[in-house]
Structure 1
């Protein structure tokens, strides 16, 4: 029996038990997980260092190495994320709606777990714990399939979590890591309808499209983040500059970082903004006007408007008005996160009505598209699709519902 089938069967059995547990039992287990991760910090960091050294030897980019890297502070953040999940309301058995029918039937819909979730992701080992904690709190078992570049880190984290769960009501079999990272096994996983209820891909465009195109298991799609900041003519100078810098540079390697900055042609501080970005090490690729007026701005190519750089690189462009900005976003955006910096309420209202994206911002950085920042604790991913869930996905996004009907002997005539 292959590793995949063996672990899938264990998950299916564990999910039945997990879905019956109380909130207090799940919270206790998550508390044990958080404590054990904190206790084993040094060993986890040692295992992560193996992945970092191998990644450097294999020529991974700086942005990928940053995603792969664990530090003492990042492990503290991982632990804090688990603790935040403990503090969240348990969605399972929540009554979504209820009503009475004229024939006396009483109907209610309640939240229930999805069952077994297959998580397919790249590089970032923090996703291993985020996904596990959210799945367990929402009553779901989880099969984790990370990338080969993070295998040592993921094995360490899963080992620690399963050891903690062994002393709790949650069966340790509810969390499994698929250590075989081959494409052949991944393809089998994508078609494992007998055991998996949903797949969630989280990573680059190539990974996401591979899952979507090859899976027969239903996919809860997360998306690439080609995010924009539009600075309107009325934008306040200091606010606009600070938001653009934060959106681009706070953490350039993540999906909610801004990749393109659109500037109203009548906003008087464009040169100051570009100089500020350049001064902080951002490579700028601009339209003909901006590249011609600023020696440090390289001429942009068509592909630059489509690119999720995940690096200190930004495409910059002048636009005539808010409608031109909206049209640009419609053509090149990925429906992730889009921001307008403006003091013109009519333009803000038009932007909010016309732009099709999971999250829209007024006078704030795109970097807030995040489960923790939205108050969801950790996140399972950021959905840019339109079915089931959209935006940062917390506990409720990984549940479904069932109808409970109570009668007094009714039969249908």
Structure 2
């Protein structure tokens, strides 16, 4: 593996990516798919070098006292690398999002007008301790005709560098220039800050990670940002919620993978439902080792729960801790989400269609669920293939961002000497 160096030239890497994007933009769908399949094969073949590099990062992480959730996000195994490779094969099967004619019309003067989809150009990806993002983002960028500049967190830098070196070896056997995938091998904050401001070379920045990272990018970047969101997600259990549905959804949304952004952090429960079903709820929480931070009603009714503080309503636990809030009606539940939610994913459990409709219309979030787990806010789960992130903003893209989110449009006019 290449020795890590801090003497990186971010601007030069961005220039190389921009040049490579010109070549990438004219490749056929078949050529891009062949490249993705080759990358998948090389990842399968060279997984041992990736795992060796990952072990270095894990060793450093343990020495620095990273918590279990963080180590889980950082850890790679042969099976996880195989999942990366399969993800690339899945992306290769998806429709090419570029070159699509969205509209086509002819003016009275005979000038033909087409609106077509085209790549964004060069994507800057800033992320933390998830080496899978290196592969997922690369696959989506290349399939959509974009070059990509990757800036992963320092905790996974050795793993990410090893992955990119494997990707480069694979790209050398394809029509895609290896310069289309750049990795900034630096832990210096200045390298990231430089990426924020290179509008002449980078077309869009996508941050993926915790709230502080996303806030730093949004507040400091002069490059346009596709903002991915922190997931303070809620489950509202209505007075007319089916008990078994509510408990099953709660357990899945909280415990399936507690450290991901689409896991729930707060359960809002109608006071009547809680009074009637406190025994079943208490047993379910105990069986699944879920620790409760609750309001005064919850502390009174659910054994071993602790009083919630103001921060409990706003923070991501990323663990098996959960906050529980009691309300008198759906309006109060919606207001709580408005006050503390992050516009990511919210769910209601109820058999009352009118109540569900009110919730779905009034809650402002990228993804809303009726009688289903928030864990479905995921590109692969919703049939998009791999995702590059989940957008909580409203312009350009919202929700899981798959291939279409990595394109823009241009207008093509075909004339025969028309002048205005």
- TM-score, L = length of structure 1: 0.98
Q: Which of 390, 393, 397 is the aligned partner of 1:382?
A: 390
Show the 5 A alignment for 1:239-318.
Answer: 239-267=245-273, 268-318=276-326
Deviation per CA, 1:276-298: give whole Å up to 9, x if none: 12331111100101112223111
Task: Measure, in 1, the Cα distance between the counterparts of 2:9 and 2:233.
Answer: 39
Deviation per CA, 1:24-83: give whole Å up to 9, x if none: 000000000001101112221121111111101011111111111112222222111111
Task: Measure, in 2, the Cα distance between the counterparts of 1:338 and 1:83.
Answer: 31
CA contact (8 A) 2:334 2:359 kept: yes
Task: Measure, in 1, the Cα distance between the counterparts of 2:191 and 2:417.
Answer: 51
Task: Measure, in 2, the Cα distance between the counterparts of 1:170 and 1:85.
Answer: 16
Task: Measure, in 2, the Cα distance between the counterparts of 1:278 and 1:114.
Answer: 49
Name the SS for the 2:272 alignment partner.
coil
Name the SS for the 1:21 alignment partner.
coil
Show the 5 A alignment for 1:164-203.
Answer: 164-203=170-209
- TM-score, L = length of structure 2: 0.96
Task: Measure, in 2, the Cα distance between the counterparts of 1:309 and 1:97.
Answer: 46
CA contact (8 A) 1:3 1:180 kept: no
Task: Measure, in 1, the Cα distance between the counterparts of 2:262 and 2:279.
Answer: 25
Deviation per CA, 1:314-373: give whole Å up to 9, x if none: 000111111111111111100000001111000010011000000000111000100111
Task: Measure, in 1, the Cα distance between the counterparts of 2:90 and 2:281.
Answer: 37
Q: Which of 227, 242, 253 is the aligned partner of 1:236?
A: 242
Q: Which of 143, 161, 165 is the aligned partner of 1:159?
A: 165
Q: Which of 15, 38, 47 is the aligned partner of 1:32?
A: 38
Identify which range, 291-300 or 363-372, moves more after superposition. 291-300
2:4 — aligned with what?
none
Task: Measure, in 1, the Cα distance between the counterparts of 2:77 and 2:371.
Answer: 32
User: How far apart are residue 391 of structure 1 and its match?
Assistant: 0.2
User: How far apart are residue 409 of structure 1 and its match?
Assistant: 1.9
CA contact (8 A) 1:263 1:270 kept: no
Q: Which of 80, 97, 103 is the aligned partner of 1:97?
A: 103
CA contact (8 A) 2:246 2:349 kept: yes
Show the 5 A alignment for 1:219-230.
Answer: 219-230=225-236
CA contact (8 A) 1:278 1:284 kept: no
User: How far apart are residue 2 of structure 1 and its match?
Assistant: 4.5
Name the SS for the 1:251 alignment partner.
coil
1:353 is aligned to 2:370: no
Deviation per CA, 1:356-404: give whole Å up to 9, x if none: 0000001110001001111111110000000000000000101100001
Task: Measure, in 1, the Cα distance between the counterparts of 2:311 and 2:107.
Answer: 57
Q: Which of 66, 70, 84 is the aligned partner of 2:76?
A: 70
2:342 — aligned with what?
334
1:21 is aligned to 2:27: yes
Task: Measure, in 2, the Cα distance between the counterparts of 1:202 and 1:213.
Answer: 15
Name the SS for the 2:174 alignment partner.
coil
Task: Measure, in 1, the Cα distance between the counterparts of 2:124 and 2:296.
Answer: 46
Task: Measure, in 1, the Cα distance between the counterparts of 2:105 and 2:345.
Answer: 37
CA contact (8 A) 2:8 2:184 kept: no
1:395 is aligned to 2:403: yes
User: How far apart are residue 185 of structure 1 and its match?
Assistant: 1.3
Name the SS for the 2:351 alignment partner.
coil
1:126 is aligned to 2:123: no
Task: Measure, in 1, the Cα distance between the counterparts of 2:140 and 2:393.
Answer: 20
Task: Measure, in 1, the Cα distance between the counterparts of 2:279 and 2:109.
Answer: 71
Task: Measure, in 2, the Cα distance between the counterparts of 1:271 and 1:100.
Answer: 68
1:43 is aligned to 2:49: yes
How many aligned positions are there? 412
Q: Which runs of 5+ in 2 are unaligned?
A: 1-6
